[in-house]
Amino acid sequence: MPRLGWRWLTVSSSLTPLIVILIGCVVPESLSYLCMKGKTSEAYKVLEKVAIFNRTKVPPGVLILSPLIQKDEEHSSSEEENNQQDDTSYGNIFINSLEEMSSAFIAIAIVDRVGQKLSIVMTSTLSFFLLLPLAWHQSDIATTVLLFGSRLFVAAGMTIVGVYVNEAYPTSVRSTGTGVMCSIGNIGGVVCPLIAIVLVEGCHQGASVSLFEFVILLMIVSVLMIPVETSGRELVYSILIMYNSQSL
């Protein structure tokens, strides 16, 4: 952005939604939606495509799952110093943004090996300990590395949560719970930075970090209290396509 301007930033940002639109044109419709609309024959065709991809056949009598803040420094009187500060800020943003992609690989690497619950607990615990040193002042490089690692494992844990929730809860409960979670998350995304800024500017960096540490601990305890581990278990399906083997 400092070199090419906001227009090129906007153009590059539009590429991802464009890819989603193009992929959406070929992605099959939800089986749950087709069943609710009575389009069982179309739902079965989708199942056939899935079966072909997995080199198998659709069995008779089918059940379908319904499924940092960074404190601004004083503006320098020198234009050169201002430009250098802007470049550094964008560099830090880029480095921290890499965790979005890396977290997916971490989730893929561990979730099938140790299970959903333990994976979430492990990633959250690692994030907790990486964030802990930031309760005290650290160098710029150490701060960037610690924040990157903490965000990386939190994002990996949240990726696994998306899989775990789909398997552990029925559609009606899951939809309501996910909606509430997203709403609270959005509110937290607005409130937490404001609180953190006030605490950091008031020389209470330890209290600011403690706030985030408390939330991570609360997440770990909440996951440990869930009695179900879905890894390796057969899914219980909740929507039945109303036809039998004779009508296939």
Helix axes 171-201, 140-168, angle to 10 degrees: 160
Cβ atoms of 62 and 114 within 8 Å: the answer is no
Give the residue among 131, 178, 121 at the shortest CA–CA distance from 151: 131
Kindly tell me the burial class for residue 226, based on how many C-beta atoms sit within 10 Å of its own C-beta (0-12, 13-18, 19 or more). middle
Using alpha carbons, list the distances in angstroms from residue 184 to 162, 181, 191, 207, 248: 16, 5, 10, 22, 45
Q: Read off the pTM.
A: 0.54
- How many Cβ atoms from other residues are within 10 Å of residue 17's Cβ? 9
For the chain, what is the mean pLDDT? 75
Question: How far apart are alpha carbons 17 and 53 in whole angstroms?
Answer: 26
What confidence tier does 207 reach under pLDDT thresholds 50, 70, 90?
confident
User: Which stretch of 58-62, 81-85, 199-203, 214-218 has the lowest confidence by average pLDDT?
Assistant: 81-85
Reported as a single tens digit per residue, the pLDDT across 30-75 is 887 888 788 888 888 888 888 888 888 877 666 554 444 344 444 4
